[in-house]
Chain A
Amino acid sequence: MSGIRFDSVSVAYHGTTVLDALDLTVEPGEVMALLGPSGSGKTTALRAVAGFVTPAAGRILIGGRDVTGLPPYRRGIGMVVQQYALFPHLRVQDNVEFGLRARKEPKAEIPARAAEALEMTGMAGYARRYPRELSGGQQQRVAIARALAIRPQVLLLDEPLSALDAQLRSGMLAELARLHRELPDVSMLYVTHDQVEALTLADRIAVMDRARLQDCGTPQQLYRAPRTEFTASFVGQANLLPVTVADTAGAALFDGRTLTVDTGTAAPGTTATLCVRPHLLALGAGPDALHGPNALHGRLGEVQWRGATHRLYVDVAGHRVAADLPELRETPTPGTEVTLHFAPRDAVLLAAGAGA
């Protein structure tokens, strides 16, 4: 069992820091998702573990062993990338056997282990094919089989599903979750910019933005109690509203009205950011038990039908608030006055400027 540890790892390209003193530990057997917008340094962090970029500072440990100075081929990691990178001149079987041969595993064991890896990814029937004769999803399965065949302690996945269509992606996501259950000892570092993948698969999520780690926690923690505004808006697109803390009993002022929320330890008079998820807002006439006591009044800007839900954009005192409502029978007309409600426990108060 071995995990991964980033110990103040910094990476710079031509003097630009693209990874800034990253401290992160992936526990043995854990699935850690690296989530962040494009260019935030996720791939760079992964490549540093694989050994394809050399950190300017800091150390990388795999299973407690410092691998910072080791070449990639001595790190014993499995890696799966977005473009699959299957060897086009080798059949599926030989692709999967490649790592076993390279590592000089006993000859007699190689075919059986390749078969096992192909079995695990459901590709046993395709061993004789060339990669170009497979669909994208099948190629990705082979790439995963190839990485698993060497029985790595650590599996690095860089947006492995992003080249697949939505339906295939959700299928593969379930497959990956199953693989993780079958291989509970393997630590996985899973790079993605898709929060659904991160929330579904990961034991913990590390949120990155502009070369820095912004937040790290279980999906529930990040979703229910984000610590920074960036996390709140990136994971689940929360609405962020500036409020003033009125008292410690749970009152906050927004747009001159009092809202009831958990103000925690925030001192009265300080400014804070109220964070509430679109799907936790309800549309209603007045405060009642069903809708919750807090009301946001505003003018309806836009209505989008999204199948199972309606997305409403409401202009509340100059802030654009998004609300996801179960499919409405009668959609309100844009331009009319509407009121959105939410329960106190569905809102989180962030100290102003947290994490910025």
Chain B
Amino acid sequence: MLVHSKAGRWAAWSLFLFLFLPLFALPLLVVVAASFATHWSGALPSGPTGANYGAAVRGESLRALTTSLVTALVSSLLALTAGTWAALAAQALRKGARRVMDALFVLPVAVPSVVVGLAVLVAFSRPPLLLNGTATIVVLAHTVLVTAFAYQSVSAALVRLDPAYEQAAASLGARPGHVLWRVKIPLLLPSLNAAAGLCFALSMGELSATMMLYPPDWMPLPVRIFAATDRGSLFTGSALAVVLMATTLLVLAAFSRIRTRASYR
């Protein structure tokens, strides 16, 4: 923080805690508390138990967790590939064409995800592309949604990449493909990794488009959390939410470990 006086630092910290605690931390803490509870009649949940978790990491719930993990991993990998490819291609375009590309890739972010879900549903419910009721359509919708973020972070990283590296490589006799794989991609690796983490986290938490599309045998965890709370099982839902949160954070931590090892400067 760019505050140097002692009083200023205190003020900044208090403001931070004042805003952060009630807005971000407390709700999450309450969810954690609720996940261990059996009643909630007073101000806080009570009647501590571990039983909620027993159900949350077994059977249907475990299946939902793996479904979410597989969906998020596959869709973020696909999104990263497509987004990187598009960002690289856009870089070679003239300014006008690049603007069009940028606008195109912002669409899934700008449009509400329910609408994206509906669009995917409508588009793939008829032959020849009949994907309705398959796992593929969920993965596809997630990919569409998160590719925008991958595209944007890779584009931003490409702009910051010093062209001197590419030019040095070209003057040494490297063809464009060689430059791409041996210079550009390695230099972009930290950004690609960050983009992958972002895509993964977004996909893990996606609910609205998924609700429109998921088949009974491919129910991601957020849908299950929603279903649990919807029928009144608040404590089971909370336990599932904590599992979702912990898994996502764990995977993100793994991503960031790779990132620190891959940053060169």
Given contacts A130-B264, A132-B264, A132-B265, whether A85 and B168 have CB atoms under 8 Å apart is yes
Q: Across the two chains, which residue of chain A brings its CB closest to B185?
A: A89
Query: Is B178's CB within 8 Å of the partner chain A?
Result: yes
Please indicate the chain B residues that have their CB under 8 angstroms from the CB of A150 in the complex: 172-173
Given contacts A79-B168, A130-B264, whether A73 and B183 have CB atoms under 8 Å apart is no
Chain B proximity of A169: nearest CB distance (Å): 21
Task: State the main secondary structure of chain B at its contact with A.
Answer: helix
**A interface residue count range (under 10 / 10 to 19 / 20 to 34 / 35 or more):** 20 to 34
Tally of contact residues, B, Cβ under 8 A: 21
With beta carbons under 8 angstroms apart, the residue of A77, A88, A130 that contacts B171 is A77
Given contacts A102-B178, A132-B264, whether A50 and B173 have CB atoms under 8 Å apart is no
Contact A98 B172 (CB under 8 A): yes
Contact A76 B186 (CB under 8 A): no
Query: Is B14's CB within 8 Å of the partner chain A?
Result: no
Contact B165 A102 (CB under 8 A): no
Query: Is B39's CB within 8 Å of the partner chain A?
Result: no
Query: Is A137's CB within 8 Å of the partner chain B?
Result: no
Instruction: Give the interface centre of B162, B167, B171 by most chain A CB atoms within 10 Å.
Output: B171
Query: Is A127's CB within 8 Å of the partner chain B?
Result: no
Query: Is A254's CB within 8 Å of the partner chain B?
Result: no
Contact A50 B167 (CB under 8 A): yes
Contact A99 B265 (CB under 8 A): no
Contact A85 B164 (CB under 8 A): yes
Query: Is A103's CB within 8 Å of the partner chain B?
Result: yes
Q: Across the two chains, which residue of chain A brings its CB closest to B176?
A: A73
User: What is the 8 Å Cβ interface bit string for chain A, positions 68-105, against chain B (1 contact, 0 not)?
Assistant: 00011111111101010111110000000011001100
Query: Is B6's CB within 8 Å of the partner chain A?
Result: no
With beta carbons under 8 angstroms apart, the residue of A79, A85, A99, A130 that contacts B174 is A99
Please indicate the chain B residues that have their CB under 8 angstroms from the CB of A77 in the complex: 171
Taking CB atoms and an 8 Å cut-off, the chain B residues in 172-215 that contact chain A are 172-176, 178, 182-183, 186-187, 189
Chain A proximity of B165: nearest CB distance (Å): 6
Contact A83 B164 (CB under 8 A): yes
Please indicate the chain A residues that have their CB under 8 angstroms from the CB of B186 in the complex: 87, 89
Contact A81 B168 (CB under 8 A): yes
Query: Is B169's CB within 8 Å of the partner chain A?
Result: yes
Query: Roughly how many angstroms separate A72 CA and B179 CA in the complex, as a whole number?
Result: 12
Query: Is B170's CB within 8 Å of the partner chain A?
Result: yes
User: What is the 8 Å Cβ interface bit string for chain B, positions 140-169, against chain A (1 contact, 0 not)?
Assistant: 000000000000000000000010110111
Given contacts A102-B178, A132-B265, whether A85 and B167 have CB atoms under 8 Å apart is yes
Chain A proximity of B195: nearest CB distance (Å): 18
Please indicate the chain B residues that have their CB under 8 angstroms from the CB of A86 in the complex: 168
User: What is the 8 Å Cβ interface bit string for chain A, positions 139-154, against chain B (1 contact, 0 not)?
Assistant: 0000000110010000
Please indicate the chain A residues that have their CB under 8 angstroms from the CB of B175 in the complex: 73, 102
Contact B264 A146 (CB under 8 A): no
Please indicate the chain B residues that have their CB under 8 angstroms from the CB of A75 in the complex: 171
Chain B proximity of A264: nearest CB distance (Å): 45
Q: Across the two chains, which residue of chain A brings its CB closest to B167?
A: A52
Contact B264 A71 (CB under 8 A): no
Chain B proximity of A38: nearest CB distance (Å): 19
Query: Roughly how many angstroms separate A289 CA and B262 CA in the complex, as a whole number?
Result: 73
Chain B proximity of A77: nearest CB distance (Å): 6
With beta carbons under 8 angstroms apart, the residue of A73, A130, A156 that contacts B173 is A73
Please indicate the chain B residues that have their CB under 8 angstroms from the CB of A72 in the complex: 167, 170-171
Contact A88 B187 (CB under 8 A): yes
Taking CB atoms and an 8 Å cut-off, the chain A residues in 27-78 that contact chain B are 50-52, 71-78
Query: Roughly how many angstroms separate A15 CA and B66 CA in the complex, as a whole number?
Result: 59
Q: Across the two chains, which residue of chain B brings its CB closest to A130?
A: B264
Query: Roughly how many angstroms separate A76 CA and B170 CA in the complex, as a whole number?
Result: 10
Contact A89 B264 (CB under 8 A): yes
Instruction: Give the interface centre of B170, B183, B187 by most chain A CB atoms within 10 Å.
Output: B170
A-B CB proximity, top 7 nearest: A99-B172, A102-B174, A85-B164, A72-B170, A79-B171, A88-B264, A85-B168
A-B contact pairs, 15 of them (CB 8 A): A50-B167, A51-B170, A73-B176, A76-B173, A78-B171, A79-B168, A81-B164, A85-B164, A85-B165, A87-B183, A87-B186, A98-B174, A102-B174, A147-B171, A156-B171
